[in-house]
Amino acid sequence: MEDINLHFTGDFSAIEKANNLLAALIDNNIQSKPASLGIDPRTVHWKRVMDMNDRALRRIIIGLGGTASGIPRETGFDITAASEIMAILCLSENFHDLKERIGNIFIGFTLDKKPVFARDLNAQGAMAALLKDAIKPNLVQTLEGNPAIIHGGPFANIAQGTNSVLATKMGLSLSDYVVTEAGFGFDLGAEKFLDIKCVSAGLQPQAAVLVATVRALKYHGGVPLADIQKPDAEAVARGTENLEKHLENMLKFNICPVVAINHFADDTEEEIQAITDKCRAMGVKCAVARVHAHGGQGAEELATLVSQVAEACQSDMTPLYDWNWSIEKKIETIATQIYGASAIDYTQQARADLKKIQDLGLEHLPVCIAKTQKSLSDNPQLLGRPANFIVTVREIEIAAGAGFVVPITGNIMRMPGLPAKPAAENIDINEEGKITGLF
């Protein structure tokens, strides 16, 4: 466990290096007279990254120290997982594809308003070389000694939020079943998994498991966190409207759903019943998994159900939208169909970004909407199944290398901070090299 949580096989370090090489090449070009592309430093969005929660690096001024030390400009650090290189690595099929995607990274504009891409700096070869080993999926094992492949970790809001395409294909090449996970709720990670990753890589899920807990549904049903362990089957029933909307969304993709109730010791029969009743009413199969208490044995009933559903599943997954639609139509389709919004509003900035995307000829890219994970809407306070709300698109970022655009509907944290009492204070190592204090 400490091996996975600390450094692992060095993939994040390699991604960090590739990302920061591009940053160095950009600032070098801004500095260099003979090779200058005429980049306008004010239009450069590419940031450096570091795999550390360090809020002091969010906004910095670089290039101080006189003419030999660069042109001063404002920039910042993101955490490595937020790098576009992470998203690129996780969608790449091979080195050729990797280099092409890296070359397509949009950097900014020249002073005479021409777009600049990473390929204009001849960055793609060296950046891909730094990713030589990081592109290979990592094999480890589960507690019960079964194979696990762990590879890539992009965000589920500003990026696609699932492990690499290559890891999924590796798993499917080596075993009969692959179980994989998409970040946050179905509206965020799974929508992107299906509309971006599956379409890009030609993948098809044969079953989709929606995880719910009694306590989370109670929370959606209006119970405050402090009372979450008190039995309240009615609150669970109220909260199932959130589950219901996610199930409706799954059916829109024409995939075969299963609900997994992740069982906790304080769940009551009546509370479980409230969930199974909702599933039955919707014609969706459901199983209780007692993984906390019994490990894999506690998941045998779920496993049997999932394998039955996967083997009987006849339908082909249909993406929600066609990549060739306009950016606005794609955003509107996701927001109304999946989130349940009544309308979309664009800020002036977002309208300007739409025009920029059109001018750059990138309208064919899929959309990767960055939205709060806490609500189906763009307002984190609205639990359950919100209705009659408007989604506001504030700006639209371009991730031309990864191959999508990112409509932003809220505040996105790309460089987290540490809490007042960081977990680091409890981590230690003894003379035998044994690590303690990791959770």
Partner 1 sequence: MLSDIEIAQGTALKPIKEIASRLRIPEDQLEPYGHYKAKLPLSLIDPEKMRGKKLILVSAISPTPAGEGKTTISIGLSEGLNRIGKQTTVVLREPSLGPVFGIKGGAPEADMHR
Taking residues 324 to 363 in sequence order and writing x for each that binds partner 1 by CB under 8 A, - otherwise, the string is ----------------------------------------
Of the pair 151, 238, the CB lying nearest partner 1 is at 151
Footprint of partner 1 on 24-63 (CB under 8 A): 50-54
Give the tokens for residue 17: 């290096």
Phi and psi torsions of 262, nearest 5°? -80, 105
Footprint of partner 1 on 224-263 (CB under 8 A): 225, 228, 242-243, 246, 255, 260, 262
Give the tokens for residue 331: 């955003």
Helices (H), 253-335: 269-282, 291-294, 300-312, 327-333
Of the pair 244, 270, the CB lying nearest partner 1 is at 244
Q: Which amino acid does the sequence have at 300?
A: E
Options 4-12, 341-349, 351-359, 391-399: segment touching partner 1 (CB under 8 A) = 4-12
Residue 295 is a binding residue for partner 1 (CB under 8 A):
yes
Residues 76, 73: Cα–Cα separation, whole Å: 10
Of the pair 107, 149, the CB lying nearest partner 1 is at 149
Of the pair 148, 281, the CB lying nearest partner 1 is at 148
Of the pair 175, 315, the CB lying nearest partner 1 is at 175
Residues 72, 140: Cα–Cα separation, whole Å: 45
Kindly state the smallest distance separating residue 389's Cβ from partner 1, in Å.
Answer: 14
Q: What is the largest CA-CA distance in the chain?
A: 75
Q: Is 270 helix (H, G, I), strand (E, B) or coil?
A: helix
Residue 187 is a binding residue for partner 1 (CB under 8 A):
yes
CA distances for 419 relative to 53, 115, 247, angstroms: 10, 40, 35
Kindly state the smallest distance separating residue 154's Cβ from partner 1, in Å.
Answer: 8
Q: What's the sign of the alpha-carbon dihedral 355, 112, 84, 365?
A: positive
Binders of partner 1: how many residues, by CB under 8 A? 130
Footprint of partner 1 on 364-393 (CB under 8 A): 373-376, 383
Kindly state the smallest distance separating residue 284's Cβ from partner 1, in Å.
Answer: 13
Q: How many CB atoms lie within 10 A of CB 1?
A: 10
Footprint of partner 1 on 105-164 (CB under 8 A): 133, 135-154, 162-163
Would you call 150 exposed, middle or buried from its count of C-beta atoms within 10 A (0-12, 13-18, 19+)?
A: middle
Kindly state the smallest distance separating residue 36's Cβ from partner 1, in Å.
Answer: 35
Kindly state the smallest distance separating residue 363's Cβ from partner 1, in Å.
Answer: 28
Footprint of partner 1 on 188-217 (CB under 8 A): 189-190, 193-194, 203-213, 215-217
Q: For residue 215, what is the enclosing H or E element?
A: helix 214-220
Kindly state the smallest distance separating residue 120's Cβ from partner 1, in Å.
Answer: 28
Footprint of partner 1 on 405-424 (CB under 8 A): 416-419, 422-424
Of the pair 106, 253, the CB lying nearest partner 1 is at 253
Of the pair 30, 79, the CB lying nearest partner 1 is at 79
* Residue that has been written with the tokens 């096989």 in this structure: 9
Residues 150, 178: Cα–Cα separation, whole Å: 12
Give the tokens for residue 117: 């891409």
Give the tokens for residue 158: 């500003």
46, 184, 389, 404: which one binds partner 1 (CB under 8 A):
184
Taking residues 58 to 97 in sequence order and writing x for each that binds partner 1 by CB under 8 A, - otherwise, the string is ---------------------xxx------------x---
32, 36, 175, 342: which one binds partner 1 (CB under 8 A):
175
Kindly state the smallest distance separating residue 104's Cβ from partner 1, in Å.
Answer: 21
- What is the three-state SS of 332-355? HHHHHHHHCCCEEEECHHHHHHHH
Contact (CB, 8 A) for 102 and 46 = no
